[in-house]
Structure 1
Amino acid sequence: MAMEQPEMEPRYLAESNAAINSQIQLQLYAAYIYLSMAFFCNQDEVALVNFALYFLCQSQKWMESTEKLFHFLIQRNGSLVLGRIADQQRHDWCDGLMAMECALHLEKTLNQSLLQLYQLANSKGDACFCSFLKRHFLQQQVEIIKEMGGYVTNLRQLGAPGNRLAEHFFDRLTLGESTKEN
């Protein structure tokens, strides 16, 4: 099912397709990092099972969102250019708080990139692309950043990182309930 679009200048289409490919790469990187966080939290010595489930869910969400961008790009007759996913610097998150703080930073980076995509589309009057970004990405980013910011605040109020018990209570009570809902 092809989208109806007004005629757009070829230079803009090339620029937007490159920007979409760049966003795809960033989202694949995010899925990769979240997967790494999930396995870190699931280690016996860390034992934050619900943190692991939360990060695994975030990885899956970014993979699903990336598929939406794939389809959007194809519908615009763009070509998918998959490069190598950026190398992950060795992450020793040390604890759940540090992993959540890194996740929050990652989401802010993804949000900024999506806002730049939106600005590009808006500046060229690409209403279809603007609508797509609003419907599938922008509101969800506001919600996840707010959620993760709240989680970081709660963890700090409970005494993390100094109090390891705080992370375990947060894992069981807050993230445990959150993962049951999802």
Structure 2
Amino acid sequence: MPGSFSQDSCPSGNSQTPHCLLEIDLVTCHFYVSCTRHGLAEMEDKPRLPEVCSVAMNKVLSYELHISDAYLSMAYNSIDESVQPCFATFFEDQADMKRENGKEFLEYLGKRGNKICLPVFKRPEIENWGTGLRALECALDLEDRLTTLLLDLKTTASANKERDVLEFIGKYLKEQKRSTKNLQTKLKYCKEIENQAQKEEKAC
């Protein structure tokens, strides 16, 4: 199911360890974060986030990268049928946007001096996305899950009086509304085309 993730705990930090290294490999990107304890302290222009806020933000960050990966898969593994419009370019653009969002969350966590510890989300068990309609339906599910995670982060930040976090995620919440509405419009259009094609086929 889109959005499920493993709760494997991240390695606990060691205050005596001078280096904090993280390597993230995904189809859509390759990030390498390397910072010494001294260097990290220099980045901190604000107090560290409370643990609950850090966990919630890591979930959003991980899911942004997860969706980027899924969108790229949709762009190159969907069947281009004459009955339905091809959304390959749209999916590829969405993959790039989600990857950039993930990088911005990485940078924010680094500036606050918090540990980057990403939960692993299970990939949709689909090797070929089939028609554009099927891919759009899954994309909408993924975006809905991301919206839920962002709202959870907003609730957590509000409870901890983290105004800076609320200001930071504001643009992403607005972006989610636009993305969801866009997908709903494309999905509706795709279904109308499919229904029309079925009617014409029956009429023949």
Whether the 8 Å contact between 1:27 and 1:62 is mirrored in structure 2 is: yes
> How many residues are paired up?
157
Q: Residue by residue, what CA displacement relative to the aligned partner does 1:111-155 show, whole Å, maximum 9, x if unpaired?
A: 1111110111011111100000003x0001001101110111111
Matches within 5 A, 1:1-182: 5=46, 13-41=50-78, 46=81, 50-82=86-118, 84=120, 86-135=122-171, 137-159=172-194
Secondary structure of 2:77's match?
helix
Where does the alignment leave 5 or more consecutive residues of structure 1 unmatched?
Answer: 166-182
* Aligned-residue CA RMSD (Å): 2.6
Shift of 1:93: 2.5
Whether the 8 Å contact between 2:71 and 2:94 is mirrored in structure 1 is: yes
Which entry has the higher C-alpha Rg, 1 or 2?
A: 2
Give the direction of change, closer, same or farther, for the CA distance of 1:67–1:49 in structure 2 (3 Å limit). Answer: farther
Whether the 8 Å contact between 2:77 and 2:130 is mirrored in structure 1 is: no
Where does the alignment leave 5 or more consecutive residues of structure 2 unmatched?
Answer: 1-41
Measure, in 1, the Cα distance between the counterparts of 2:175 and 2:63.
17
Secondary structure of 1:159's match?
helix
- Higher strand proportion: 2
Give the direction of change, closer, same or farther, for the CA distance of 1:68–1:53 in structure 2 (3 Å limit). Answer: same
The residue aligned with 1:177 is none
Secondary structure of 1:79's match?
coil
TM-score, scaled to structure 1? 0.75
Measure, in 1, the Cα distance between the counterparts of 2:167 and 2:51.
19
